[in-house]
Amino acid sequence: MKSWSDIRKTLEQDRLAPSLRGRVQYYITRYREAHDDHGRVAIRVDGKEVFKSSIFDVFKLEQKIEHRMDEQYPGLTGRDRWSKENEQLITEGAASEHAFYYAFREYDTQSIEKSLESKYALVRALAILDRRVGKRRLAAIKERGFDGEPEWVQFFYRLRLEAEGLLCE
């Protein structure tokens, strides 16, 4: 596993689209004095946190999701249930630092095509900001549309399209 400084360097320097360099920053804070050693995750654009989540956000949403899971997938247990719950948490904009590391690992170890089509919203958000997504692919994404994405992920799609001059509003 890469260190946080290596992950941040990868995301902000090595892989971030040149049109977004200096505008997008990634943060993970761990509260080492807390009883559970958890913290918060944030993605800032132009100094404003556009994605932010702490373990407390996760806990609050987790209870609602667990109730929905019981109704939608009765009998689902173990890793399959955990995976579905985690996917739903991130889709709804709540991610622990562990979920962020998991999403980064998936994004970092597969092709950009697979990352753009990932079932995990956070992986797709990381991928759309990647320099390997060129203008032709962005134009195709714009043409196809991204309305089905969670609102917070749509922000990153619009940000990238605007940065490349492909979205005129």
10-50 per-position pLDDT tens digit: 999 999 999 999 999 999 887 666 555 667 889 999 999 99
Q: Which residues pair with 51 in a beta bridge?
A: 43
pTM assigned to the model: 0.84
> Encoding tokens for residue 68?
């929905």
- pLDDT of residue 157 exceeding 90, the answer is yes
pLDDT at position 36 is 57
User: What is the gyration radius of the CA atoms in the chain, in angstroms?
Assistant: 16
Chain segment 95-148, per-residue pLDDT in tens: 778 888 889 999 999 999 999 999 889 999 999 999 999 999 999 999 999 999
Residues 6+ apart with CB under 8 A from 166: 135, 138, 139, 142
Chain segment 41-72, per-residue pLDDT in tens: 899 999 999 988 877 777 788 888 888 888 88
| Angle in degrees, CA 88, 147, 70, rounded to 5 | 20
